[in-house]
Chain A
Amino acid sequence: MGEVNFSQVMEQNRSFVDKVIEKSGQDIRQCYQCAKCSGGCPGSFAMDYLPNQIIRMLMLGMKEEVLKSQTIWVCMGCNTCTTRCIRDIEVAHVMDTLRQEAIKAGYAEKGRLVTIFNDVFLSTIRSYGRLFEAGLLMMNNMKTGNLFKDAQFGLPMMLKGKAKPFPHRIKGRKEIKNIFEKIKRMEGK
């Protein structure tokens, strides 16, 4: 992570930790660094910072390092950390908030594959109301440039009747579109 001047970053980013606390509803100041979250984290082997380190870095005001970390995109949301936290912090919920903040701040480079997948996933819901798996796979592969990702499963899935060639369109598509539009207006995006 290189050298960090703590008095400087803490001054600059004092409001960031408050924002994370407010948005996630989790008082991360309660954390006393027992590291139980990291001990049980199934994704820790692929992370650059452990979950307890992320919490500590937040407290130290290291906004950029946290939002640019690999960790927040490796977190699978299994909630083992939340289940085991002795200080009652929903760590997985904090990770959700951090991902959302990273996207807003334009810091999601390490999460590029995740955000592309999520955007394509949500766009099929916005269009049809339900997930369209075949379309999701194709669009995702086109956008990531990884054209043949999981292509070997396509034919067997079709033959087993597990993938449909066309999307199912729900009647309430307009309601779904409204949800997306209203949120966009509400959050000023």
Chain B
Amino acid sequence: MPKYALYPGCSLETGGIEYGMSSHAVAHALGIEFLEVPDWNCCGASSAHMTDHLLSLALPARVLALAETLPVTEMVAPCAACHQRFAAVEYELSRDEDLKRKVNSLLERPYTGKVKLRSYLDIFANPETLEEIRKKVKRSLKGLKVACYYGCLFVKPPKVVNYVDDPENPQAMDNIMRALGAEPLPWPYKTECCGASLGMTKEEACTKLCNDILKIAKDSGADCIVAACPLCQQNLDMRQISVEKKYGTQYRMPIPFFTQLIGLALGLDPKTLGFKKLFVDPAGVLRKVGAA
């Protein structure tokens, strides 16, 4: 039974609560065990790395050090923004002993690097788990056209996030969707930035970027955009109404998380997968796969 340390991050219990709900439900159904990192803290996100280099390493390093107390060899962070901060710790501290000492001098428990970060997408998209998923599909998503949206931070920059997928045209989520019976569309905005980090400070720029993504997905014929990052998801889902108002459009594009669609295909109840938590009504998607 695969076992991972889980770093939920601040959004899996708040803005991205349906990502948390569906992740746990799906892991249970697939026999994946998550051990939550005890007493975890916020990774500092972009606010820390814009403000202070040491702080941006020390906050996530404390979490990785705590994960080392668990009987696991790997940790996952479903939020792409958190994921990239942990990847930065591994990348920078494994190349600079002095920096590692400096960061460790800020921590109560030293970070050794014993527990490695693993891409959250990869724990589902690896060949063995994909096979397991295929075997357990009870409600095929046949006929559902999906635009897989990876966002930036799971795949960029590749040397830091250390992930084998293509940063310009990643396939992990596409492969998962295929295993569920859905049809992942070829579309050009898979890893274009949605501007979530400007949502609070330069909203008009953020709205434009969201509009571009929503428009291209709609034009590509997508029934929904599938998200892997809670910040992207919230940006495209919650702000969609502002985008529509500003650009005089009507996308009504549901933005489910990939884990919600896995759960749907495994036959789980849409309620326990948090479909009601989405802002844009996913009823069309649920009807199309016979789950409503």
Contact = CB atoms under 8 A, between A and B. Distances in A.
Interface stretch (B27-35, B173-181, B194-202, B254-262): B194-202
Interface in B189-240: 191-193, 195-202, 205, 208-209, 238
A42 B195 contact: yes
A117 B286 CA distance: 38
Nearest to A41: B193
A113 B50 CA distance: 13
B50 A118 contact: yes
Contacts of A153: 238
A79 B10 contact: no
Given A100-B52, A162-B14, A179 B158 contact: no
A129 interface: yes
Contact of B279 (A156, A168, A182, A187): A156
A60 B77 CA distance: 41
B53 A96 contact: yes
Contacts of A73: 201-202
Contacts of B17: 160-162
A153 B20 CA distance: 20
A117 B47 contact: yes
Contacts, number: 156
Interface in B152-176: 152-153, 156-158, 160, 167-168
Contact of A170 (B41, B108, B160): B41
A127 B197 CA distance: 22
B54 A43 contact: no
A149 B158 contact: no
B277 A162 contact: yes
A80 B51 contact: no
Given A125-B42, A130-B42, 9 more contacts: A43-B198, A76-B197, A76-B198, A79-B84, A79-B156, A100-B51, A157-B238, A162-B17, A170-B41
**Across the A-B interface, the 6 shortest Cβ-Cβ residue pairs:** A78-B193, A78-B152, A121-B47, A118-B47, A131-B10, A79-B156
Interface of A: 23, 42-43, 45-46, 73-74, 76-80, 82-83, 90, 92, 96-97, 99-100, 103, 113-115, 117-119, 121-122, 125, 129-131, 133, 140, 149-150, 153, 156-157, 160-164, 168, 170-172, 175-176, 178-180, 182-183, 186-187
11 contacts: A42-B209, A78-B152, A79-B156, A80-B156, A114-B50, A129-B41, A153-B238, A157-B15, A176-B62, A183-B52, A183-B58
